[in-house]
Amino acid sequence: MAYQPSTFNAYLNENRDRFLAEFAEFIGQPSVAADGRGMLEMADLVARRFRELGAEVTLSDTNGGPPVVYAEIGPAGAERTLMIYNHYDVQPEDPLDLWETPPFEMVIKDGKIFGRGTSDDKGELLSRIQAVEAWLKTQGELPVRIKWVVEGEEEISSVNLHDWSARHADMLGADGLLWEGAGYDEAGRPNFGLGCKGIAFFELRCQGPSHDLHSSFAPFVTNPAWRLVWALSTLKDQDETITIDGYLDHVAPLTADEWAAIDALPMEFEAMRERWGISGWLTGADDFHARRRYISEPTITISGIHAGYTGEGSKTVLPAEAMVKLDFRLVPDLTPELAQDLLRQHLDRRGFTDISITLLGGEAPAKSPLGSLVERAAVAASQDAWQKTPVMFPWFAGSGPMHSLSTRLGIPGIFAGATWHPNARAHSPNENIYVEDYFRSMQFMGAFLDRFASLPAEVIDSA
């Protein structure tokens, strides 16, 4: 029986209030992976919602971290299997004083839904679940077998997913992988992507005296903050070139097709400059080169640094300890392990053996082939549900654990679907999505299930 969007959409309308009430429950449950708040409660909430669909659900162990909520649903004998990935954890809510509404409370205002996790990633997770409900209630049996992986550590670099997916590789076979969506851009175009950069998130620490000292002792007592500043200054030079010994040798050159795909990407640079209150790009790059750098370049970002007294006014101390958090974005063929090894060797070679390195989370870059079934199904579903052709990124500048579930398992993956808009403030105060985008996400999901089940497996060469 062919997919009937009219009955599907009617069901969404009829259940609009309940769907929003369920979303309020998801937002209202804090699930901050960084400090562990509410993780088990949230996993349980997600599992319960899956069970309401009739799914087989497991809270699957992750070496003691928040569990993976793993759900299977749909005919066991279906011709195709779709893997779906989402996550139920959110970023910390600080700085709290910049929120205009309570972070863990759904507030609807001016057509937007506010609350931590609305855009990243509870809105998409729940709207996809609700879409499956709508399919079951209006279309009958699902057209595919779904294997749904919902992890609880995405915001802390999916520290256990890689190991989890290795341990469960046998059960994870699929014909395609639907990843999180990447939202709409400034022009309202859905942005899809065939992969993403990897990441290695490090914490570096240097220890000085056992407690903060009066700064008059500075002429002869080591200051760990200076040690850290000097070490950092050797990692990247002021023209933004990474200077870790041997690091750039591992960056694979891009093909002409890849450059062409990048150059074709529409990016609203002018709007970004305005929104961020800045007049130009790093190293004075023009928009053309900013785009190329954005997609193609590995980075080292100081995401946080701290030492000593940082309150009001002055306090004349020599700090006991200094700490920096470094976010490395990895392009092929860099890996977290390689980044860690090269960083350690680089620092040791320069005498910084007193600086410790802890890898807080790492993911290798992910890259899927052009023309796969998931890509074609996602493009068609976008046209079906939204009458829009998505912008297709060869890979995204952001990171995710896609590698563990796609590249490594040989399953083509795609970031597709969309709930968030350019001012959704993911990771920031006042995170939000549009109410209508929430329901449009369900419409995309319905069309995607249909297309993924029915499109030919291989591209037919029209030449």
Report the sign of the C-alpha dihedral through residues 388, 389, 391, 396, in that order. Answer: positive
CA angle in degrees (0–180, nearest 5) for 130-136-137: 90
* Tokens of residue 253, six digits: 């050159």
- Nearest partner of 196 among 395, 343, 454, judged by Cα: 395
| Range in contact with its own copies (rule: CB under 8 A) among 200-208, 243-251, 335-343, 413-421 | 200-208
User: Site for its own copies (CB under 8 A): which residue of 238, 256, 387, 460?
Assistant: 238
Q: Are 195 and 412 in contact (CB under 8 A)?
A: no
Is 91 one of the binding residues for its own copies (CB under 8 A)?
A: yes
Q: What is the 3-state secondary structure (H, E, C) of 112-134?
A: EEECCCHHHHHHHHHHHHHHHHH
Beta bridge partners of 434: 112
The span of 54-62, 109-117, 215-223, 370-378 binding its own copies (CB under 8 A) equals 215-223
User: What's the CA gap between 48 and 53, in Å, rounded?
Assistant: 9
- Provide the b/e sequence for 363-401 (b: ≥16 CB within 10 Å): bbbbbbeeebbbbbbbbbbbebbbeeebbbbbbbbebbb
- Among the listed residues 315, 333, 457, 458, the single contact to its own copies using CB under 8 A: 315
The residue among 167 and 236 lying less far from its own copies, judged by its C-beta, is 236
CA–CA separation, 342 and 347 (whole Å): 9
Binding mask 145-184 for its own copies (x = CB under 8 A): ----------xxx---------------------------
CB 319, min distance to its own copies, A:
7
Which residues in 412-451 contact its own copies (CB under 8 A)? Answer: 426-428
**Stretch binding its own copies (CB under 8 A), from 167-175, 210-218, 247-255, 410-418:** 210-218
> What is the closest distance, in whole angstroms, from the C-beta atom of residue 170 to its own copies in the complex?
30
**What are the two backbone dihedrals, phi and then psi, of residue 462, each rounded to the nearest 5 degrees?**
-85, -5
Task: Examine residue 232 and tell whether it contacts its own copies (CB under 8 A).
Answer: yes
Looking at the Cβ atoms of 91 and 138, the one nearer to its own copies is 91
Nearer to its own copies, 14 or 337 (CB): 337
Q: How far apart are the first and last CA of the chain?
A: 32
Q: How far is the CB of 359 from its own copies (least distance, A)?
A: 10
Report 25-44 residues binding its own copies (CB under 8 A): 33-35
Q: Is 251 in the site for its own copies (CB under 8 A)?
A: no
Tell me which residues in 338-397 interact with its own copies (CB under 8 A). Answer: 351, 360-361, 396-397
Q: What six digits make up the tokens of 381?
A: 């579903």
